[in-house]
């Protein structure tokens, strides 16, 4: 299978009062249709930095990120915008919805920026919101809906342009356990039905157990990876084991 | 939803965020326009007020112009700071630099136009008040409101419209130079606790005290005026940025006071507010001070001018276009007679003539009349085609003769 995402020898060093190496020689590949989790002890860095580098929000100090054969960090600003519009979808912990817009308008924003025909937009919005179960709140503003609904709105916005790679940063971090479960099931459903490739950063083991594979990062270095077999509960236990090992050995 | 629709919704649904920017821009336009209306007033173009005072007003307008730029620049940057995360979201959703530029330019021009309109309306109202109050102070006919084509042109086309466009391009530059990650975090960056510097606070006190002290007790000439201005400007800035925070900090240190009721809340809150808005307070203070001082100086100057430069206790100046001259003269004479005031009247004809752009017009009279009014001058005999120049009552002794006025008298 073709690799949607290749990460090679990625390094990130933050210059500041104390120079800090957030990532050291990270290398891994993600296949098309794969759902990858990135975990690590909360607070001890690397997860979000890694995601920021892949998502072009931040620049690496050295190394490569290749998405669908393109290297986004080498693109010029105009091309980079187009790249983000076509190849990437984002889901954040704090949703990052625009509160001046309604749910529907937030979802259609990527298509608007792409100047897609208005009729086409309506069709897509309808299809995706029905799939996510948010078609009844389309005309609500963001402050009128619950956290779970906000995150599903953000997911709809992230997938409406059918990106090659969906990136999620602690998507359940601000949600209660019921909403977390809903959101994770939604992501899993999209991954299975649409074959959308996903990369999710989380420190929540139950959220990570929805993935196909989980990569563990400790102090900016790759530590371990765990593949899901057939059973989610067994996978969940394996994740917990690695986490306790991570904590136990280094904590 | 198209992109322009998106821009429109962004403004209309987030009016509160735009309101501060709009109002402060309107304020800048208002003050600027009021001064422009005064400077370009048609009644002032033909004399009445002398040119030095007018130059003072033009100078004041320049000061206001510079501070308007700072003011608008500050409002825009404060406004954009609150919206950094919004730009971050748009960027990450794949908005191109071109689209962001369009969005910000559209917004700025839209708010700019709105505040220009508001500012001009406000400025006109203020100018009317200003004219009335000013005329009351200098005891002359109120200047009439007029259609200020020149003032409008300069305010709109010359200053503010270009300013808004330029500033929006400038802010774009700031946004583009930042990584998306810092944009996204932009609005939630924690604020550091304001730390006033004690030396600067004391320095500010000294500057303010010195400035006001000089203004109260020292004689005013050009030198001391400059020192006073510089002192108060620096002092005002330090007052807002350091001294006020320092005073609040002292209050905070007094635990008995600080931990009582709502004191804890307002003191800690005010510390951040004052620090955040120090520059804005400073600019507003300076602009208002310039406006008030210019008005005040103008009033004093005018009254000084009238008492010092007259040859007589009382003068009645009538232009040849005045049809009611005789009536008015009779009225004045009646007033004198009613109050039993002894008076002597001398009457002569004069020609008003300019003497270059920097000085006010002078009256030229014939040699014969001049000798009659001022026999003590003992002027040497003037040749045909030459004139003499006197600097008025105060300077009787140093009379200068020059060839600047070439006028033949009948």
DSSP codes, B204-228: HHHHHHHHHHHHHHS---HHHHHHH
Instruction: Measure the CA–CA gap between B201 and B198, rounded to whole angstroms.
Output: 5
Same domain for B101 and B8: yes
Closest CA to A90 of B9, B91, B101: B91
Choose, out of A113, A141, A157, the residue to mutate when testing the contact with B (most B CBs < 10 Å).
A113
Q: Please tell me what DSSP assigns to residue B105.
A: H
Same domain for B266 and B214: yes
Please report whether residue B377 resides in a domain.
Answer: no
Instruction: Measure the CA–CA gap between A45 and A21, rounded to whole angstroms.
Output: 10
Choose, out of A92, A100, A103, A164, the residue to mutate when testing the contact with B (most B CBs < 10 Å).
A100
Cβ–Cβ of A77/B181 closer than 8 Å?
A: no
Cβ–Cβ of A100/B184 closer than 8 Å?
A: no
Same domain for B142 and B204: no
Same domain for B219 and B77: no
Domain end: B189, B211, B229, which one? B189
Please report whether residue B158 resides in a domain.
Answer: yes
Same domain for B214 and B80: no
Asked if residues B213 and B196 have their Cβ atoms less than 8 Å apart, the reply is: no
Instruction: Measure the CA–CA gap between A208 and B236, rounded to whole angstroms.
Output: 58
Given CA atoms A180, A184, A185, A189 in this order, what sign does their dihedral have? positive
* Residue B3: CB atoms within 10 Å: 15
Give ipTM to 2 decimals: 0.83
Asked if residues A36 and A215 have their Cβ atoms less than 8 Å apart, the reply is: yes
Chain A, residues 176-215, CB within 8 A of chain B, namely: none
Same domain for B281 and B215: yes
Phi-psi region of B378 (alpha: psi -120 to 50; beta: other; left: phi over 0): left
Confidence (pLDDT) at A38:
92
Q: Which residue of B has its CA nearest to A122?
A: B1
The domain tally of chain B equals 2
Cβ–Cβ of A96/B184 closer than 8 Å?
A: yes
Q: Please tell me what DSSP assigns to residue B197.
A: -
Same domain for B55 and B29: yes
Cβ of A56 under 8 Å from any chain B Cβ? Answer: yes
Please report whether residue B150 resides in a domain.
Answer: yes
Same domain for B206 and B58: no
Please report whether residue B327 resides in a domain.
Answer: no
Domain end: B290, B308, B326, which one? B308
Cβ of A85 under 8 Å from any chain B Cβ? Answer: yes
Instruction: Measure the CA–CA gap between B68 and B178, rounded to whole angstroms.
Output: 27
Which residues of chain A neighbour B98 with C-beta distances below 8 Å? 78
Instruction: Measure the CA–CA gap between A114 and B96, rounded to whole angstroms.
Output: 9
* Residue B69: CB atoms within 10 Å: 17
**410 residues of chain B, pLDDT tens digit each:** 777 788 788 888 878 778 888 888 898 899 888 888 878 877 666 555 555 666 777 878 888 888 888 888 888 877 777 788 888 888 888 888 888 888 888 888 888 899 999 999 999 998 888 777 766 655 566 667 777 888 888 888 888 888 888 888 887 787 777 777 777 776 556 667 778 888 999 999 999 999 888 888 876 677 777 888 889 889 999 999 888 888 888 888 888 888 888 888 888 888 888 887 888 888 888 888 887 777 776 666 655 555 545 566 677 777 777 777 788 888 888 888 888 888 877 777 777 776 655 555 677 777 777 777 666 665 566 666 666 666 544 443 333 333 333 333 33
Domain ranges of chain A: 93-163
Q: Please tell me what DSSP assigns to residue A70.
A: B
Confidence (pLDDT) at A45:
65
Q: Interhelix angle for B3-12 vs B97-138, to 10°?
A: 40
Please report whether residue B149 resides in a domain.
Answer: yes
The nearest CA of chain A is from the CA of B249 a distance in Å of 28
* Predicted confidence (pLDDT) per residue in A26-53, tens digit: 999 999 999 999 988 766 668 888 988 9
Cβ–Cβ of B13/A110 closer than 8 Å?
A: no
Cβ of B195 under 8 Å from any chain A Cβ? Answer: no
Residues in chain A: 251
Domain end: B171, B189, B207, which one? B189
Instruction: Measure the CA–CA gap between A84 and A173, rounded to whole angstroms.
Output: 24
Confidence (pLDDT) at A152:
93
Please report whether residue B320 resides in a domain.
Answer: no
Please report whether residue B69 resides in a domain.
Answer: yes
Asked if residues A238 and A251 have their Cβ atoms less than 8 Å apart, the reply is: no
| Closest Cβ opposite residue A112 in set B1, B89, B179 | B1
Give every strand in the sheet of A3-14, ordered side by side. Answer: A20-31, A3-14, A62-67
Cβ–Cβ of B93/A58 closer than 8 Å?
A: no
DSSP codes, A78-146: HHHHHHHHHHEEEE-TT----TTSBHHHHHHHHHHHTT--HHHHHHHHHHHHHHHT-TTSTTSBGGGS-
Cβ of B89 under 8 Å from any chain A Cβ? Answer: yes
Same domain for B183 and B164: yes
Same domain for B225 and B199: yes
| Closest Cβ opposite residue B89 in set A78, A86, A98 | A98
The alpha carbons of chain B give a radius of gyration, in whole angstroms, of 29
Asked if residues A91 and A155 have their Cβ atoms less than 8 Å apart, the reply is: yes
Closest CA to B71 of B295, B291, B281: B281
Cβ of A170 under 8 Å from any chain B Cβ? Answer: no
The domain of B104 spans 1-189
* Predicted confidence (pLDDT) per residue in A141-182, tens digit: 999 999 999 999 999 999 999 999 999 999 998 899 999 999
């Amino acid at each position: 299978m073709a690799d949607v995402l290749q990460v090679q020898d990625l390094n990130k060093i933050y210059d500041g009062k104390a120079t800090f190496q957030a990532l050291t020689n990270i290398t891994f590949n993600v296949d098309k249709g794969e759902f990858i989790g990135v975990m690590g002890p909360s607070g001890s860095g690397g997860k979000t930095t890694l995601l920021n580098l892949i998502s072009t929000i931040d620049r690496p100090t050295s190394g490569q990120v290749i998405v669908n054969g393109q290297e986004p960090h080498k693109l010029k600003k105009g091309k980079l915008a187009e790249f983000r519009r076509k190849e990437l979808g984002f889901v954040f912990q704090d949703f990052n919805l625009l509160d001046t817009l309604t749910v529907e308008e937030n979802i259609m924003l990527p298509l608007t920026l792409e100047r897609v025909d208005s009729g086409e937009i309506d069709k897509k919005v309808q299809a995706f919101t029905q799939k996510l179960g948010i078609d009844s709140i389309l005309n609500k503003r963001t402050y009128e809906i619950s956290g779970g609904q906000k995150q599903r709105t953000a997911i709809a916005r992230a997938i409406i342009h059918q990106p090659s790679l969906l990136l999620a940063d602690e998507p359940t971090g601000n949600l209660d356990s019921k909403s977390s479960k809903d959101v994770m099931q939604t992501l899993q459903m999209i991954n299975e039905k649409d074959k959308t490739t996903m990369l999710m950063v989380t420190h929540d083991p139950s959220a990570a157990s929805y993935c196909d594979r989980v990569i563990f990062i400790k102090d900016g270095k790759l530590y371990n990876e765990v593949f899901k077999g057939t059973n989610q509960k067994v996978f969940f236990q394996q994740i917990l084991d690695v986490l306790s090992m991570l904590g136990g050995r280094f904590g | 939803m198209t992109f322009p629709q998106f821009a429109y919704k962004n403004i209309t649904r987030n009016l509160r965020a735009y309101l501060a920017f709009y109002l402060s821009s309107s304020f800048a336009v208002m003050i600027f326009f009021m001064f422009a209306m005064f400077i370009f007033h048609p009644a002032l173009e033909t004399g009445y007020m002398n040119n030095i005072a007018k130059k003072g007003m033009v100078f004041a307008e320049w000061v206001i112009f510079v501070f308007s730029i700072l003011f608008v620049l500050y409002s825009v940057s404060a406004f954009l700071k609150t919206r950094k995360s919004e730009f971050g979201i748009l960027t990450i959703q794949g908005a191109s630099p071109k689209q962001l530029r369009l969005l910000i330019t559209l917004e700025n021009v839209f708010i700019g136009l709105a505040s220009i309109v508001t500012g001009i309306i406000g400025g006109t109202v203020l100018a009317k008040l200003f004219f009335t109050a000013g005329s009351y102070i200098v005891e002359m006919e109120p200047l009439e409101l007029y259609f200020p084509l020149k003032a409008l042109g300069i305010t709109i086309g010359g200053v503010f419209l270009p300013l808004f466009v330029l500033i929006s391009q400038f802010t774009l530059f700031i946004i583009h130079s930042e990584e998306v990650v810092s944009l996204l975090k932009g609005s939630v960056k924690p604020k550091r606790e304001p730390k006033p510097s004690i030396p600067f606070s004391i320095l500010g006190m000294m500057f303010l005290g010195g400035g006001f002290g000089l203004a109260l007790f020292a004689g005013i000439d050009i030198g001391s005026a400059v020192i006073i201005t510089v002192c108060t400007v620096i002092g005002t800035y330090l007052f807002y940025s350091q001294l006020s925070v320092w005073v609040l900090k002292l209050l905070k240190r007094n635990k008995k006071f600080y931990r009582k009721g709502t004191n804890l809340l307002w003191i800690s809150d005010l510390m951040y507010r004052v620090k955040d808005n120090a520059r804005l307070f400073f600019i507003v203070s300076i602009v208002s001070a310039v406006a008030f001082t210019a008005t005040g100086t103008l009033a004093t100057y005018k009254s000084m001018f009238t008492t010092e430069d007259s040859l007589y206790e009382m003068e009645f100046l009538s232009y040849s276009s005045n049809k009611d001259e005789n009536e008015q003269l009779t009225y004045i004479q009646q007033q004198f007679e009613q109050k039993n005031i002894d008076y002597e009247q001398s009457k002569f004809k004069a020609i008003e003539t300019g003497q270059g752009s920097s000085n006010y017009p002078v009256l030229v009279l014939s040699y014969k009349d001049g000798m009659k009014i001022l026999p003590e001058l003992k002027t040497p005999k003037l040749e045909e085609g030459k004139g003499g120049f006197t600097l008025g009552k105060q300077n009787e002794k140093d009379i200068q003769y020059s060839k600047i006025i070439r006028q033949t008298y009948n």
